[in-house]
A = this chain, B = another copy of it.
Amino acid sequence: MALIVQKYGGTSVGSVERILAVAEKVKSWHDRGNQVVVVVSAMSGETNRLIELAREINPDPSPREMDVLLSTGEQVTIALLAMALHRLGVDARSYTGGQVHIRTDSAHSKARIMEIDGTRVRADLEAGRVVVVAGFQGVDENGAITTLGRGGSDTTAVAMAAALKADECQIYTDVDGVYTTDPRVEPKARRLARITFEEMLEMASSGSKVLQIRSVEFAGKYNVPLRVLSSFEEGEGTLITLDEDDDVEQAKISGIAFSRDEAKLTIRGVPDHPGVAYQILGPIGEANIEVDMIVQNIGKDDTTDFTFTVHRNDLPRAEEILRNIAGKLGAREVETDGEIAKIALVGVGMRSHAGIASAMFKALAEKNINIQMISTSEIKISVIVEEIYLELAVRTLHEAFGLDKDR
């Protein structure tokens, strides 16, 4: 008998029929003797309907009241799923975030979970009940309703699993697992049976949208085995766990993530002196623009060239700030490029295998793909290339590192 936390997203509970199908799935786990906690999102479309209603009332609604409004979406789903389970003869009880004491900070619309009191849930599980919990929401120390932001239901599930010391946290979604890369770009992409938290984090931060970064961090921190699987098909999905060193013949590379959301800014001919990097990036940070990759080159005549990337949506604001800075610093020019892509090779095997980077650069060079920027971490190598080469680069690397072959 295992204690399992399952999470079903908005699409999985998007209609009466789908809620009944989820109830069948939950029942089958429960029937096999497992203790089951189910975390659900709002029915798909519901959150947008409520947001639209709010905007009609007030174009700039208060985050506190938005949370009161949006949290009703999940509350509807928990009641309906509990009713569906009752119909199948399964004893079940629903709880809002506040009712199971999912305590968060007070950052409305993007709150963080501080603690969960699992007492009530445990009592229900002991009594043989399925517990249905509203995802995405909690209460702050004053009892005000908070939400964790979009995708927060994954975090609720993982936090619930950590608090209950669950054996597994299952995230049901519309894909059947984590792939070596996006199958829409590389049809030979394969589903991974396992991946480590670290790899999953690097995949997510480099553009793979399967899971929210925060939920993976959380799962890693509390060592909650996380499984991604499909709501609509049978299958084992992908299990995300700690790195297990004794795995024989560990793969060098697990996957290739990529992102088209990048833009590049370059400031050329900046008179070089200590502190120049801060003078350039300080104002960008103050404007709440996140900087991803940074490269600085010494130019000619004691000047330096400085290049960095931001989210493509932030490019116009970043450019304005940078032109202002360029004037003050006496820089020669500012260049921007919104047509770039980031490609990241991810794998814990990198740690112990030299030559991954050179093999990557060689494979890209053979296809005449120019690398504009490079950044490395312990288990990831990211490169920036011209956007038109994205698909070619992903397929090239997928083959070069043997990701299309069963291991």
- B-binding segment of A61-69, A310-318, A373-381: A61-69
- B-binding segment of A83-91, A212-220, A233-241: A83-91
Bound: A71/B94 CA distance, A: 13
Residues of B within 8 Å of A204, CB to CB, are: none
Q: Please give the distance in Å from A144's CB to the nearest CB on chain B.
A: 8
Contact A65 B94 (CB under 8 A): yes
Contact A19 B93 (CB under 8 A): no
Is A297 engaged at the interface, CB distance under 8 Å to the other chain?
A: no
Bound: A144/B54 CA distance, A: 27
Bound: A69/B68 CA distance, A: 15
**Chain A positions 339-366 with a Cβ under 8 Å from a chain B Cβ:** none
Bound: A72/B70 CA distance, A: 10
Residues of B within 8 Å of A82, CB to CB, are: 62, 65, 68
- B-binding segment of A73-81, A221-229, A271-279: A73-81
Name, among A57, A71, A94, the residue most crowded by chain B CB atoms within 10 Å (CB to CB): A57
Contact B76 A61 (CB under 8 A): no
Q: Please give the distance in Å from A130's CB to the nearest CB on chain B.
A: 12
Bound: A57/B80 CA distance, A: 7
Interface size class of A (residues with CB under 8 A): 35 or more
**Chain A positions 32-63 with a Cβ under 8 Å from a chain B Cβ:** 50, 53-54, 56-58, 61-62
Is A98 engaged at the interface, CB distance under 8 Å to the other chain?
A: yes
**Assuming A57-B19, A75-B72, is B50 touching A65 (CB within 8 A)?**
no
Contact B64 A16 (CB under 8 A): no
Name, among A19, A50, A54, A72, the residue most crowded by chain B CB atoms within 10 Å (CB to CB): A72
Residues of B within 8 Å of A50, CB to CB, are: 76
Bound: A41/B49 CA distance, A: 19
Residues of B within 8 Å of A80, CB to CB, are: 53-54, 57, 65, 69
Bound: A87/B75 CA distance, A: 27
Is A294 engaged at the interface, CB distance under 8 Å to the other chain?
A: no
**Chain A positions 132-184 with a Cβ under 8 Å from a chain B Cβ:** 143-145
Contact A68 B75 (CB under 8 A): yes
Q: Please give the distance in Å from A126's CB to the nearest CB on chain B.
A: 16
Is A331 engaged at the interface, CB distance under 8 Å to the other chain?
A: no
Contact A58 B87 (CB under 8 A): yes
Is A99 engaged at the interface, CB distance under 8 Å to the other chain?
A: yes
Chain B residue at smallest Cβ distance from A15: B56
Residues of B within 8 Å of A329, CB to CB, are: none
Q: Please give the distance in Å from A21's CB to the nearest CB on chain B.
A: 12
Residues of B within 8 Å of A79, CB to CB, are: 54, 65-66, 68-69
Chain B residue at smallest Cβ distance from A70: B79
Is A20 engaged at the interface, CB distance under 8 Å to the other chain?
A: yes
Additional 7 contacts, C-beta under 8 A, given A65-B86, A69-B79: A50-B76, A62-B83, A65-B79, A65-B94, A68-B82, A69-B75, A69-B80
Residues of A whose CB lies within 8 Å of any CB of B are: 16, 19-20, 50, 53-54, 56-58, 61-62, 64-66, 68-69, 71-72, 75-76, 78-80, 82-84, 86-87, 93-94, 96, 98-99, 143-145
The 6 A-B residue pairs with the shortest CB-CB distance, nearest first, are A69-B79, A72-B72, A68-B79, A58-B83, A58-B87, A16-B56
